[in-house]
Structure 1
Amino acid sequence: MNTKTIWSPYEIRWARPEEWRPVMRMIWRTFMKFEGKEYSEEGIRNFFYFVTGNELYTLFLRGEYLLMVALDEGNIIGAGSVRNRNHLSLLFVDENYHRMGVGCTILEKLCEYLKTEVGERYMSVQAAPYAVNFYRKQGFRTVRPEMEYGGIRVTLMEKIF
């Protein structure tokens, strides 16, 4: 899985199996710090099960859940994943690296991969309330207004390549 060379001061590459748990811990910490306050107890519980359950990990090991990581001197500082061919599943950056281009670069690399290697024409995402403006700035448009299911609030968005 090659990706176009997009410059970043951080190492950005496909995740290795041994990085799964540290990535999910970073995602959980970041979720609780920035998004958890927007969710009900049910939503927090469902998100926890989503990132800690075996289903995603099994898909990842089979190559059906693509996970890209950003590292700073070997430490995981960001991650983005794609499932169902072209759906951005998770995009999280450690709070100490917000507004430093990490999330933008991961997203650019994932989009470039989908466009050039997979032949996709768009990417979709169910954006959390905290992330809607970020995705708008990255060229995503709202497809469906915010909705809630299982206590998780999301806005369906897409980006055409």
Structure 2
Amino acid sequence: MRLEKLKISDLSIASSLIEKAFDDSVAPTLSKEGIATFKSGLTLESIKKRLSSGNLFIVCRSKSAIVGVGEIRDKNHLNLLFVEPSMQKVGIGRKIFYELLRSVKESEVTVNSSLNSIGAYKQFGFIESDVVGEVKGIKYQPMVYKVEPKT
């Protein structure tokens, strides 16, 4: 497996993987409004715009297939982290997160975790930083990861 920056030519594949993983694990926990809100950020135009505005996207490839995608926005917010459902719980998400973390210059990384992903983020070292929130049908747990100072 190898990690690399997302290429424009892989936008469609990455978007499809995110949607598949979202449909498998997060969508069942959300309202119709929440699902529509989330999916509005998965369009090729939306991802391309975030990529061109400086958001960092990392993909994990197994052979030639993309099996995981992560995104950092605003220099320290983990916006997306999704892994092919059949390949979850083998460390792919962790590898992507730590690769994204290498680019973070801030003292912490934030994430608005889906409620069913809180345990996974705690395993990475995140802690809850506020009460559960909801915006446009998406329920989330704000969490923070303290970044070790780089020496």
TM-score (norm 2): 0.93
Give 3-state SS (helix, strand or coil) of 1:19's partner.
helix
The separation in 1 between residues aligned to 2:20 and 2:109, in whole angstroms, is 26
After TM superposition, give the deviation of residue 95 of structure 1 in Å: 0.8
Does residue 93 (structure 1) correspond to residue 83 (structure 2)? The answer is yes
Between the aligned partners of 1:139 and 1:41, the Cα distance in structure 2 is 31
The answer to whether structure 1 residue 14 and structure 2 residue 5 are counterparts is: yes
Q: AA paired with 2:37?
A: N
Which residue pairs with 1:106 in the alignment?
A: 96
Match of 2:51 in 1: 60
Q: CA deviation at 1:53?
A: 5.7
Structure 1 113/146 Cα, relative in aligned 2: closer, same or farther at 3 Å?
same
Q: 2:28 aligns with which of 37, 41, 48?
A: 37
Alpha carbons of structure 1 residues 147 and 53: separation in structure 2 relative to 1, 3 Å: farther
1:76 aligns with 2:42: no
Identity in percent? 23
Selected match of 1:146 from 116, 132, 142: 132
Whether the aligned pair in 1 keeps the contact of 2:110 and 2:142 (CA below 8 Å) is yes
Query: Runs in 1 of length 4+ with deviation above 6 angstroms?
Result: none
Superposed displacement of residue 110, structure 1: 1.0
Task: State the aligned residue count.
Answer: 147
Gaps of 5+ in 2: none
Tell me the distance in 2 between the aligned counterparts of 1:54 and 1:19.
13
Which of 32, 38, 54 lines up with 1:47 in the alignment?
38
How far the C-alpha of 1:55 sits from its partner, in A, is 3.4
SS in 1 for 2:90: coil
Give, as a single letter, the amino acid of the residue that structure 2 aligns with 1:97: M
